[in-house]
Amino acid sequence: MKKIFSVLLTLLILLGLCVGCGQTPEPDFSKDVDVSTDISQEESSTVSDDSTDDSTTTTETDASGTVEDSDVTDSPSSDASDNRSTSKTSEKTSDKGTTSSPLRGTTSSTTRGQAGPIRTTTKTTVATSTGSMTKTTVNVDTQKTLFDEIPAALSKQKVKMLVWWPIMDSDNEQSAFFTEKTGIGVKYETINASNYQTRLSAMIMSNNAPSCAAMLAGWYPQPITRGLLQPIKNTGWDFTDDIYATNLMDEFAYKGEYYAIALTGSVNPTFNIMFFNRDLLKRFGVTQDPYQLWKAGKWNWDTCLEMARKCTDISKGMYGMTLTWQYYWMVSAGQDFVVPTKDGLMNNVKNPAIADAWMYAWRLTNEYKVVDHSFTDSAPFYAHTSALYATGSYEMQNNQPTYPPAMMADVDWGVVPFPSPAGMDPIASCDGTVWGFPSRVTGDELQAAAWFLRYWLDDAQFKSADFYPKEECWEVMNWMWEQKIESFNSMGVLGYGGEYDAANMQPLIMEGGIANIKNNLDSWYGIAESNIKKIETEMPIPD
């Protein structure tokens, strides 16, 4: 009997090795992963960790369009920079779908190799009080809708999406419409951003992986080196169509291998913008507000500084602007510490333009004294003691009580892109959000996730009146998509291993005053170089 058992055990081991051949590397639990976390594999379960304040909220849409909230803990809190709601309103125009199956259900045939639907580009010119604007939207072919292209074989699949922000009613409405049209069920799960990668690792290892997951630029490259994401080519899709924003997808690419997607025109990437208080500007005698300067092609670092100086009266606690993140100036100059290329990662820390941007940021606060030095983000702007407020484009949305549309409802506010240096082509700077497919997601579930993202990220699904409170918000967002985009995606490289993040990196660069900024950056060059070499040894080898 023992011999028989030994033979059977040996066969099972050999079988397991064969099955593992050629698969995506398993997630690496050696880096900040709690392998003891017990995660339920039940479809309606909540992923939670009692040892932290993290929690997961799950909402599910069935095929009939009914939204059901599962029994979960309170929705996790997050900082404003992480609270990137992506609520949208769908346009309901057709028939109901069929009933969806459990998350791990399979269809009788695979659907790999889908190239995606044919698209057309529509440009719409809209008259405004200061001229005209052009809104570019990529739509489905007039002869075929997106839903006509989705294979019927996927109708019993279920897509589980992982995010770090609260899911809004309009998100549920949009996914319900997708389910109604395709039969593909959709479930959202929200995890606090601070524990996001750790929890994703545990979910994958417990065979409870989400079908798709949002990713922040600053996390790169850990989700790849830890085996949390698979190459997007595993979907069999052609992602070279113009609708896919490869300039943002570079955030999660290595030597030409892409691990995440983004859609051109989507509201999901977080562009850097500036709100302004028109009423306050008028009190200080400003004759042309930022929006007017921007429309005239004159909104840049110099005009922004000139305006901020007019609106600064330190004796009365009044400052021209407030912003938390000084790297906005570097990125708006088209620079980042590390740049992805087709050959790998390029160390760009010693680029003189980077030092110039950080010295300019220092002067704004310490020499010109136009920046509220408390660095309390939105508070001075909401208190009407700051005329300009730099933040992310998600705060233009009309769905959060803590965003300017609600907090500044009693004043005439406006919004413009974050300015670039004078004399250069404008840069649309951003902290991009991209979307990856976690490891162990295969076959029809992977196909269903790809189709849902193609639908969910497309701004053709939105109604501007419901999403943004003012047409100029749409105008700003669409203009930025038409510019050269520079995203801040080097923080994950500089902080590889967990020693540094954007919060502690900023004062270290500024330490010792303007005379030391170049020397401080030179020291960061060595950190970047060391981490790039380490990353190169840990990156998966492309097929």
Domains 56-118+151-268+432-462 and 270-430+483-538 share a fold: yes
Between residues 445 and 90, the one the model is more confident about: 445
The 10s digit of each residue's pLDDT in 491-507 is 899 989 777 776 788 88
Does the pLDDT at position 90 exceed 80? no
Give the Å distances, CA to CA, from 380 to 57, 119, 279, 337, 371: 32, 44, 15, 30, 10
Q: What does the pLDDT read at residue 348?
A: 97
Q: Which of 12-21, 394-403, 489-498 has the lowest mean pLDDT?
A: 12-21
Superfamily of domain 270-430+483-538: Periplasmic binding protein-like II (3.40.190.10)
Q: What are phi and psi of 520, to 5 degrees?
A: -65, -40
Q: What is the dihedral of CA 358, 364, 367, 370, to 10 degrees?
A: -170
Mean pLDDT, residues 349-372: 96
The 10s digit of each residue's pLDDT in 187-209 is 999 999 889 999 999 999 999 99
Does the pLDDT at position 47 exceed 90? no
**What's the chain's average pLDDT?**
78
On the CB side of 276, CA atoms within 13 Å amount to 29
Q: What does the pLDDT read at residue 342?
A: 86
Mean pLDDT, residues 26-41: 38
For residue 85, the SS3 value is coil
Q: Which of 163-177, 324-338, 438-452 has the lowest mean pLDDT?
A: 163-177
d(CA 443, CA 109): 9
Q: What does the pLDDT read at residue 123?
A: 44
Q: What does the pLDDT read at residue 75?
A: 32
d(CA 496, CA 359): 25
Does the pLDDT at position 474 exceed 60? yes
Among 54-63, 87-96, 240-249, 324-333, top mean pLDDT goes to 324-333
- Taking alpha carbons only, the member of 161, 209, 168 closest to residue 84 is 168
**Assigned CATH class of 56-118+151-268+432-462:** alpha beta
- Match 């992602």 to its residue by tokens: 239
Residue 133 belongs to what H/E stretch?
Answer: strand 131-140
Crossing angle of helices 352-366 and 301-310, in 10° steps, is 10
Mean pLDDT, residues 458-474: 75
Q: 416 exposed, middle or buried (CB, 10 Å; 0-12, 13-18, 19+)?
A: buried
The 10s digit of each residue's pLDDT in 275-313 is 999 999 999 999 999 999 999 999 999 999 999 999 999
d(CA 291, CA 404): 16
Domain ranges (residues) in the chain:
56-118+151-268+432-462, 270-430+483-538
Residue 224 belongs to what H/E stretch?
Answer: helix 222-225
Does the pLDDT at position 418 exceed 50? yes
Give one DSSP letter per residue of 373-431, joined into a string: TT--TTHHHHTTSEEEEEEEGGGG-SS-TTSHHHHTTTS-EEEEEPPB-TTS--EEEEE
Q: What does the pLDDT read at residue 352?
A: 97
Instruction: List all residues 6 or more positions away from 174 whose beta carbon is below 8 Å from its beta carbon.
Output: 88, 89, 90, 456, 461
**Token pair listed for 243:** 């609708």
The 10s digit of each residue's pLDDT in 121-143 is 344 444 433 344 443 344 444 34
Between residues 492 and 541, the one the model is more confident about: 492
Instruction: List all residues 6 or more positions away from 419 whose beta carbon is below 8 Å from its beta carbon.
Output: 274, 299, 300, 301, 303, 304, 332
**Opening angle at CA 63, ends 57 and 68, nearest 5:** 30
Mean pLDDT, residues 392-415: 92
Percentage of residues in the chain having pLDDT higher than 70: 71
Residue 321 belongs to what H/E stretch?
Answer: strand 319-322
Band the pLDDT of 59: cuts 50, 70, 90: low
Band the pLDDT of 543: cuts 50, 70, 90: low
Q: What does the pLDDT read at residue 36?
A: 30
**Token pair listed for 196:** 């996001």
Band the pLDDT of 375: cuts 50, 70, 90: low
